Structure 1
Amino acid sequence: MAITLTQAFLKNFLGNSPNWYKQLILTFLIVNPIIFYTSPYLAGWLLVAEFIFTLAMALKCYPLQPGGLLVIEAIAIGMTSIDHVMHEIESNIEVLLLLIFMVAGIYFMKNLLLFLFTKLLIHVRSKTNLSLAFVCAAAVLSAFLDALTVIAVIISVAVGFYSIYHRVASGKDFSAEHDHTEDSKIEPLSEEQLEDFRAFLRNLLMHAAIGTALGGVTTMVGEPQNLIIAAKAQWGFIEFFLRMSAVTIPVLICGLTTTVLLEKTKSFGYGAKLPDKVRKILTDYDHYMDAKQTKQDVAKYYIQALIAVWLIIALALHLATVGLIGLSIIIFATSFCGVTDEHQIGRAFQESLPFTALLCVFFAVVAVIIDQHLFIPVIEWVLTFEGRSQLAVFYLANGLLSMVSDNVFVGSVYITEVKEALLTGQISREQFDLLAIAINTGTNLPSIATPNGQAAFLFLLTSTLAPLVRLSYGRMVYMALPYTLVLTTVGLIFTWLFLPQLTDFLYSTGLIEHHAASAVIESQIH
């Protein structure tokens, strides 16, 4: 039957996405200009809500296309300018370079990572202990490395596990070429096992993602906004860690306890066991790889291990920006492991480039938030509080806004406003230091509630792995909920009730020193 040109257009628009989704995006595009010319402020919040909706529907349609259309229209009607979007992209160029080069660099280390994590998965039979191992490893690494790098490692490992089982369940041997995204050839008896394996991988992925938040909040290099806050407050690495420890150490303990309870109670989608058949397949794969290893393969493992050491040292000492360190990994790994074909190298960038483009769209949404002054009423309201109440309100306000927007943006906006309040004499230097802690913990902890709160969570949601293990936006929010409640509550209690006393204790022991307000003023002048 012949179709009209309009029907053909609608069929092509957003490809295989559901018709109701296509119609809704078109409705957004029609309604937004009308609302903008009536109320720019309301239109700004509506655009934010629509963009979050496209993230929530990531399994129906990759958010780049619908989100990009909404942002292009927003620029066209004047909600923000292309110059401001470019400014936001330039301000976050290190994050973009990290995604382009670091994630690709991790791709060239996947053999070593799969080898090590397969050993871990086979020998640690307790699911609770394995979950704790993933949380702790992600936390420690995120305290010194970038959370996106850590998540890239975990994704690479999980894809490796999934493809091994999927290959065998499709009736192929370990050496066969295989498309692990195609389920049509899965043996009927394997489907239930595959669902159990997907649940198991979802557990480990979410535990690791939470671990990046637990570790990322503790040090000045853990998250990008931590560096901004440390610079504004004139804190060094050790001082930052000690000041935050009044909140971060109790939060870490409670976070690990939550991991144990979730696995023991098997609630919120946790507690999935590794199916025995899958364990046997992974064990057989491990034996197969050990048996077929050549001296050349062993040499590659040693090279990749040395590169991993270089990665940790370079990131911990900040020898270069993260993206350039990632580029060095690509060069070292390909040079010394014999990868010289352009097409082989190109595969390494397939995972990161779509998300890099999506992040540029997200920065355009941030530009809209700034130009339409969406957060200004909240900031002005928060600054009306004083003392302990101000600490609690700052913590919660940062947390709520970080769930909606990027926590780096929220943290940088708030610390700038607080520094301005210090420079104008509205607050003391002691209160400024306490508020800086509240801002850092507020942007890092409650933001785990939604994938758009933290770049690492968003990267996981939009990765090629998420649809394979059925990890949707809603499922991520649901699985993060118990962690969100525990970490947010514990962080609030220690920020509100105990932070001033614990800070005074650090002063009395000489572990940290009082700063004069003049130091911040001088830095502002310079």
Structure 2
Amino acid sequence: MQQTMTQAIYNNFLGNAPDWYKKAIIGFLVINPFIFTMNPYLAGWALVLQFIFTLAMALKCYPLQPGGLLLIEAVFIGMTSPDLVMHEVQVNLEVILLLIFMVAGIFFMKDLLLFGFTKLLTRLKSKLLLSLAFTITAAVLSAFLDALTVVAVIITVATGFYSIYHKVASGKEYHHEHDHTEDEHLHHLTRQDLEDFRGFLRNLMMHASIGTALGGVMTMVGEPQNLIIAQKANWDFIEFFIRMSPVTIPVFVFGLITTVLLEKFRLFTYGAQLPENVRAILDEYDRHLDDKRTTRDNAKLAVQAIVAVWLVIGLGLHLAAVGLIGLTVIVLATAFTGIVEEHQIGHAFEEALPFTALLVVFFGVVAVIIQQQLFTPVIDWVLTYEGKTQMMLFYLANGLLSMVSDNVFVGSVYITEVGAALEHGSITRDQFDMLAVAINTGTNLPSVATPNGQAAFLFMLTSALAPLLRLSYGKMVYMALPYTIVLTIVGLASVYLNLYGMTEWFYDMHWINHHTANLGTAPSH
């Protein structure tokens, strides 16, 4: 009986995850306390790598459970404390509220989003132009909104497209009363159509995700760490944009060129075309909805459009925290479209809450990184260099550390260290300004290499859409690779070639004379 109970507990452990995966997690849990007693620093890095492993295996088992078990053990054996984990959660409360409320708010605008993007998809026949449209749209939106919000929009749109296909493929297709000839080809869907359609949607999702990075690096609201850096440097919205532009504008241009080349030459699984059968389904579905849309439906679309305008204005002018604006979107979009039952509203939160829980675990891992001072040796080493070498090393160090941990954490740690160096007189104000640009671009650009580098990528990987499109951790890394190489190299070259000239121009224009009284040493010019 005891043996049977043990087997039952083991079988229940992590559910349907592969046997080798269960044994790997148990192995991690067994060896971590021993590593910690011998070398806490090494144990910290082991935990980080193990957590990345759980993210990489997200399609085998959702990372919340194995990652959560590793973190609980880490707290128990003293790698970090509950207070420090709570501190990290409090510091990142805006990001958590954003996920809970903004993603749910986008859910209530899905009719409008699907309407707009279906028109775009059916009118724009060229895959190349469509890919560029998705990349540019995501970049522009991310510059004024937040990358997570934009990815939530894209996930909603892609899920809508996939569900249209799935309804037809599973035999639940709609029929026009007047026209049956249009529906005849709908029955000829093949397995290849499904694979091609998945590839097509994967392409658009990845282009748009990269777009969020291209636009998110440009402004102080694009990513959470941008806001932290802007506050430390005492820069406003315009100054932040201009200071970043010597790096961000060339990167944006080369990012778009990369999109064109990947699609044109069908590299790294890009260039997948929308199958004609599926295009016919989407065209037909679009016409079907247009025909049956009532005045009440049009009123809903109009309300959602007005709410979308409020969303852009509210976020663009920073009238409140992003999550609170998301809450207003939920209230407005539901109140004026007749969604007033609790169970209807509950569906909107299903997508975001598992990821929110995972993100809190992630902040716990960040607490381990802080307590065990895993990044301190790298920071100390980089600060021993000077001039352009120092800037390039800051850019690369931020990029590499962001790939393995989180760009928000890395950016905030580095800007705090550089701010302390400025206060102590170790660096001048113009050095500080250039290092701030190197830190911001370093955390935002090379971090596209892995899903854990950017929260928006991680959100997509752990969304319900990823398994539908067969978008695994490895697939995301592979498809992001050409962008990672181009963005990292162009960013590094721009940091090396352009930053000194831009800083001198700023001082010549007396743009930031008002800052020198506020922050440390006077400029050396």
Could you say which TM-score interval applies, normalised by the shorter chain? over 0.9
Which residue of structure 2 lines up, in the alignment, with residue 29 of structure 1? 29
TM-aligned CA deviation for residue 275 of structure 1: 0.5
Distance 1:118 1:452 in 2: 30
Structure-to-structure mapping, 1:312-391, within 5 angstroms: 312-391=312-391
Mapped pair 1:307 → 2:290? no
Distance 1:187 1:93 in 2: 49
Q: CA-to-partner distance for each residue in 1:213-262, whole Å, 9 max, x for gaps?
A: 00000011111111111111111111110010010000000000000000
Mapped pair 1:518 → 2:522? no
Distance 1:25 1:234 in 2: 45
Which residue of structure 2 lines up, in the alignment, with residue 473 of structure 1? 473
2:188–2:277 contact (8 Å) kept in structure 1: no
Is the partner of 1:79 in helix, strand or coil?
coil
Which residue of structure 2 lines up, in the alignment, with residue 179 of structure 1? none
Q: CA-to-partner distance for each residue in 1:427-481, whole Å, 9 max, x for gaps?
A: 0101000000000000000000000001000000000000000000000000000
TM-aligned CA deviation for residue 189 of structure 1: 4.8
Which residue of structure 2 lines up, in the alignment, with residue 182 of structure 1? none
Distance 1:338 1:12 in 2: 42
TM-aligned CA deviation for residue 3 of structure 1: 7.6
Distance 2:381 2:406 in 1: 20
TM-aligned CA deviation for residue 506 of structure 1: 4.5
Change (3 A) 1:375 1:2: closer
Which residue of structure 2 lines up, in the alignment, with residue 181 of structure 1? none
Distance 1:216 1:92 in 2: 18
TM-aligned CA deviation for residue 90 of structure 1: 0.7
Which residue of structure 2 lines up, in the alignment, with residue 81 of structure 1? 81
TM-aligned CA deviation for residue 507 of structure 1: 4.2
Q: CA-to-partner distance for each residue in 1:28-69, whole Å, 9 max, x for gaps?
A: 000101111111000000000000000000000000000000
Structure-to-structure mapping, 1:437-476, within 5 angstroms: 437-476=437-476
Is the partner of 1:4 in helix, strand or coil?
helix
Which residue of structure 2 lines up, in the alignment, with residue 253 of structure 1? 253
2:425–2:520 contact (8 Å) kept in structure 1: no
Which residue of structure 1 lines up, in the alignment, with residue 154 of structure 2? 154
| Letter of the structure 2 residue corresponding to residue 518 of structure 1 | A
Distance 2:167 2:359 in 1: 33
Which residue of structure 1 lines up, in the alignment, with residue 178 of structure 2? none
Distance 2:445 2:520 in 1: 29
Distance 2:417 2:23 in 1: 41
Which residue of structure 2 lines up, in the alignment, with residue 67 of structure 1? 67
Mapped pair 1:402 → 2:390? no
1:170–1:187 contact (8 Å) kept in structure 2: no
TM-aligned CA deviation for residue 514 of structure 1: 4.3
Which residue of structure 2 lines up, in the alignment, with residue 18 of structure 1? 18
Distance 2:515 2:196 in 1: 57
TM-score, normalized by length of structure 1? 0.95
TM-aligned CA deviation for residue 501 of structure 1: 1.6
Which residue of structure 1 lines up, in the alignment, with residue 47 of structure 2? 47
Which residue of structure 2 lines up, in the alignment, with residue 291 of structure 1? 291
Structure 1 residue ranges without an equivalent (≥5): 176-185
| Letter of the structure 1 residue corresponding to residue 142 of structure 2 | S
Distance 1:136 1:259 in 2: 10
TM-aligned CA deviation for residue 517 of structure 1: 3.9
TM-aligned CA deviation for residue 512 of structure 1: 3.3
Distance 2:440 2:205 in 1: 24
| Letter of the structure 1 residue corresponding to residue 56 of structure 2 | A
TM-aligned CA deviation for residue 520 of structure 1: 1.5
Change (3 A) 1:124 1:188: closer
Change (3 A) 1:45 1:515: farther
Distance 2:336 2:413 in 1: 44
Distance 2:505 2:494 in 1: 14
Mapped pair 1:217 → 2:214? no
Which residue of structure 1 lines up, in the alignment, with residue 208 of structure 2? 208
Is the partner of 1:519 in helix, strand or coil?
coil
TM-aligned CA deviation for residue 172 of structure 1: 1.2
Distance 2:301 2:371 in 1: 50
| Letter of the structure 1 residue corresponding to residue 211 of structure 2 | G
TM-aligned CA deviation for residue 505 of structure 1: 3.4
Is the partner of 2:349 in helix, strand or coil?
coil
Mapped pair 1:141 → 2:126? no
TM-aligned CA deviation for residue 515 of structure 1: 5.5
1:246–1:503 contact (8 Å) kept in structure 2: no
Which residue of structure 2 lines up, in the alignment, with residue 427 of structure 1? 427
| Letter of the structure 1 residue corresponding to residue 495 of structure 2 | T
Distance 1:378 1:515 in 2: 33
Matched length: 511
| Letter of the structure 2 residue corresponding to residue 520 of structure 1 | L
Is the partner of 2:519 in helix, strand or coil?
helix
Is the partner of 1:348 in helix, strand or coil?
helix
TM-aligned CA deviation for residue 303 of structure 1: 0.1
Distance 1:380 1:419 in 2: 14
1:104–1:348 contact (8 Å) kept in structure 2: yes
Which residue of structure 2 lines up, in the alignment, with residue 282 of structure 1? 282
Structure-to-structure mapping, 1:155-234, within 5 angstroms: 155-174=155-174, 189-234=189-234
1:382–1:394 contact (8 Å) kept in structure 2: yes
